Structure 1
Amino acid sequence: MADQTGIAAHPLRNTLLNEAHARPFESLNAPLRVSHLVMHTGTSGRREEVEHMSGLCERLQVDPPNAEAGHFVLETSAFRLRWERHTEFSTYTIFVNGAESEPFSETAIQALPSTWLPGLPGELLAAMHVSLVPAASIEASIESLGRYFHADSLAGSECAGRAASVWTDFLADQSGFLRFLVIDDSLNAMQAGRLIQRLLEIETYRFMALLSFPLARERSADITDMETRLGTLMDRLATVAELADERDLLSALSDLSAQIERQMAQTNFRFSATAAYGTLVRRRLNALREQRIEGVSTLDEFMERRLAPALDTCVHMGERLERLSERVSRAANLLRTRVDVALEAQNRDLLDSMNRRASLQLRLQQTVEGLSVVILSYYVVSLVGYAMRGLERIGFMPNADIATALSIPVVVTSVAVGIGLVRRRVISADANAG
């Protein structure tokens, strides 16, 4: 496809251009009620979510989402529902305009059909209510806010250049929802939309980041045990001397390495996700531009005090596994080198022994060849002697003993040359066969 300039466009160009505007901030005005659900679905489940949203659209006679959609906004006269699909979770955010008798007395989620909510795909991970109210409609003193929050856990701050204040206690109410109260002093619609979106994302990513915390505590004992076993094996490595013991130690290190790799395979994705979600939480907190309200912690301070230790624990567990894997790998390589050197020494000794045996066999062979020449020459000379004495008796040989004596050099030379020829033929045939 080419644009108006005639230049061929990349097939993903429009997708990438639209991605920046795929999920814009809402334009919101006080008074407003918001309910937010985070459903943990794993990396699959899009089709079920689209079907469930389509069922609600059919009931309300609204056009359904596209089958490949990753987000969708359902607009009615009573509420607006925004569904967003993420990598391993989905969010459902309900917006209802209008004032309540008092904050959180009537929540936005009550506008949805009660029979539709239980069928949401996945498992509920996080849930929260946000109440955006004009400053003139509520008393913003710490004492009065005790009607909505637990005073000993209250956190709050002024945000968006002091255009609003945000209050929460990060505790679930009787229905399991966290509460955020946003008091609007001078927010415009876009500021209000950004502020509420960031609050929702802070809680969403906080819960996703904490998913690995129980896993980290569960695997802590296993990691400690493997570290202890590695220490024991390293102590043995410093004292072991026999090749058989080194092989046993290498086998034990290989088994330990396999266990560590299995632990990493089971936890690496979750620990890596925790680090990524933790970074997103801190970015959203920074984007709030909080200003302190005397007497209470800011949201950032609360997170640093309650969330940071849990995130650090998860990150630390991942780092411990990484370091443990590296230590086992180094120890195994060191021991493998020692075993290889020992085997090379054994092979060298074996080759030296074989060379000595070959040299001895060669000397024995040469000795046998010399004896063979003597023995064969003796028998050949004896045969020549018989022949000469026979010729002497019939008158053909004047002196048999002299003739026999004269034949000795000739016989010995002939036998030696003959044995040498036979040896060379055997060696040549063996070389050709090899």
Structure 2
Amino acid sequence: MPNPEYLDHPLRGALAAELHARPFLKLAESVSLIHYAVFAEHKPWLHEALLQRLCRDAKIPDPAEGATHYSVQSPCGWHLKWERHAEFSTFTFVSPRSDKELFDDVAIQGIPANWFAQLAGSRFVASRMELLAGEAARVARGAIRHWIDGPILVGSNVLGGGQAFCDWCVRPDGFTRFLVLDDGFREEQGGRLLQRLYEIETYRMMALLALPVARQMSHELDEIHMSLQALMQGMDAEGAEGDDSQLLVKLTHLAVRVESLAGSGARFSASRAYEKLVLARIHELREERIEGMPTIQEFMERRFAPAMDTCRSVWARHEVLAARIARAVDLLRTRVNLAQERDVTRLLGGMERTARNQLHLQHAVEGLSVAAISYYVLSLVAAAFKALHVLSLPIQPELAEGLAIGPVVMAVIVITRRTRSRLLKRSAGTETNDIHPLKQPI
């Protein structure tokens, strides 16, 4: 049997392992969880640097080079789960909970303050989560508002065996809070639930990155729209054809402005992808209503969905405006082409009239040339007749000269026409040889 590694495609192992790359947390007791999402758009090296610094400070093994996920137990008692995504990375710290205090720093004990200082300006999500079971869950159920005191309490029965509560508010300590009560979760359901909750929060924030871009783009689109309307009205005004070149330059400038906004397309595309992940994670919760409070899905439909609709509408408006400008440019270019064709037609008409006048002038010149040549020939003939008369020949010079006028004029006309015809044939032959160089005689 050949070596399996010899038979396999180089990517088979990595792609097959991708299904198991990010396993759920395995939790069978009350735990405290702290989750960070780090977004460093202009510092892509920061994600790995933070992980390496944390491993060094907490005296835990370093991950494999190029790893995109890492899970390890620290000597301080907390468990670390690190994941590297396309735009961000996440640090999730989990520690067992045995006391009655909630939402404290038990999950990050032993981590130096210097490590947190490196998160300055890059901490995009910070969440505290508590998973309580047994007696701790019963006590906490009677004091939900003590721990989660935001203006709107959101909660529901989830996964058929527990309850989840939150208020989606960032508290003075910089964290959002989630309280999960275990009423009989099956194996690993608690870990899956916590992961889904912090993924909802993380993907929600990443999706909302497009909202400031959409608001700024909306103002720019308003200005471009107004400019386009003014230009279109100018195109439709009487006597505006003389300004077509200037209008085309202005429309081209608007097209450049709209195209420059297309650079935000990647942000809007990513936002749509994150929105789908948020909705998928909410669907996986299998929520059931708790009387008197909205579910997570209802809260997101009222607060999160309008922001995503705004992003979609702004991007759709951008595409419509870009298409309108493209059509306006095509229309104006067509009108410019028609104006150019009219100018060319007038120019050709003028050239035709000039050629016709030149032909008439040429005919007139030819007539004068015949008369002049005939005059000089008749002068020579008259001199010859006079010489013959002096030699006593019976010739009357005046009579002979008068009789020679007709034949001389006819002869000059014939010779002139033959000469012109010969020149025209020679000229036509030269043009034919220029057009068909392969037909020239060797």
TM-score (norm 2): 0.88
The AA in structure 2 aligned to 1:306 is: R
Cα deviation, residue 141, structure 1: 7.5
2:162 touches 2:182 (CA, 8 Å); kept in 1? yes
**Which residue does 2:395 correspond to in 1?**
398
Partner in structure 1 of residue 19 of structure 2: 20
Determine helix, strand or coil for the equivalent of 1:34. strand
Selected match of 1:416 from 407, 413, 416: 413
**Counterpart-to-counterpart distance in 2, 1:117 and 1:356:** 88
CA spacing shift, 1:418–1:64, aligned 2, 3 Å? farther
Contact 1:35/1:130 (<8 A) preserved:
yes
1:127-153 deviation digits (Å, cap 9, x = unpaired): 101111104323378762011112531
Counterpart of 1:104 in structure 2 is 103
Change (3 A) 1:424 1:243: farther
Alignment of 1:75-154 (within 5 A): 75-77=73-75, 78-120=77-119, 123-139=122-138, 144-150=143-149, 152-154=151-153
Aligned to 1:248: 246
Matching residue of 2:293: 296
Asked whether the equivalents of residues 82 and 94 of structure 1 are also in contact (C-alpha less than 8 Å), the reply is yes
In 2, the alpha carbon distance for the partners of 1:114 and 1:100 equals 24
Partner of residue 437, structure 2: none
Q: Number of residues paired by the alignment? A: 429
Pairwise CA distance, 1:418: 4.0
SS class of match (1:132): strand
Alignment map for 1:269-418 (pairs within 5 Å): 269-395=266-392, 398-401=395-398, 403-405=400-402, 407-418=404-415
Counting aligned pairs with the same residue, the percent is 37
- Secondary structure of the residue that 1:179 maps to in structure 2? strand
CA contact 1:39–1:122 (8 Å) conserved in 2: no
**Structure 1 CA distance, aligned partners of 2:427 and 2:231?**
55
1:159-189 Cα distance to aligned partner (Å, 9 max, x none):
11x2111000111222100011111111133
Instruction: Name the counterpart of 2:190.
Output: 192
Q: Secondary structure at the match of 1:152?
A: coil
In structure 1, what residue type is equivalent to 2:94? F
Q: Distance in 1 between matches of 2:78 and 2:393?
A: 143
Name the counterpart of 2:438: none
User: Any conservation in 2 of the 1:216–1:317 contact (CA below 8 Å)?
Assistant: yes
Deviations 1:62-115 (A, max 9, x none): 331233222222322412212211121111111112323232134413342322
Contact 1:43 1:89 in 2 (8 A): no
When the two chains are superposed, the root-mean-square deviation of aligned CA atoms in Å is 2.6
Instruction: For 2:386 and 2:3, locate their aligned partners in 1 and report how far apart those are by CA, in whole Å.
Output: 121
For the pair 1:233 / 2:247, whether they are aligned, the reply is no
Residues 185-210 of structure 1: CA distance to partner in whole angstroms, max 9, x if unpaired?
11133222221111111000111111
Q: After the TM superposition, list the runs of 4 or more consecutive aligned residues in structure 1 that deviate by more than 6 angstroms.
A: none
**Counterparts of 1:9 and 1:396, CA distance in 2:** 125
What is the CA–CA distance in structure 1 between the aligned matches of 2:367 and 2:260, rounded to whole Å? 69
Other structure's SS at 1:360 match: helix
**Separation in 2 of the partners of 1:389 and 1:9?**
120
CA contact (8 A) 1:150 1:169 kept: yes
Cα 1:425/1:101, change in 2 over 3 Å: farther
Where 2:188 maps in the other structure, the secondary structure is: helix
- The farther-off stretch of 419-428 and 239-248 is 419-428
The correspondence for 2:265, drawn from 260, 265, 268, is 268
TM-score (ref. length: structure 1): 0.90
3-state SS, counterpart of residue 172 of structure 1: coil
Relative distance call for 1:25 and 1:411 in structure 2 (3 A) is farther
- The letter of the residue matching 2:219 is A
- Name the SS of the counterpart of 1:189 in structure 2: coil
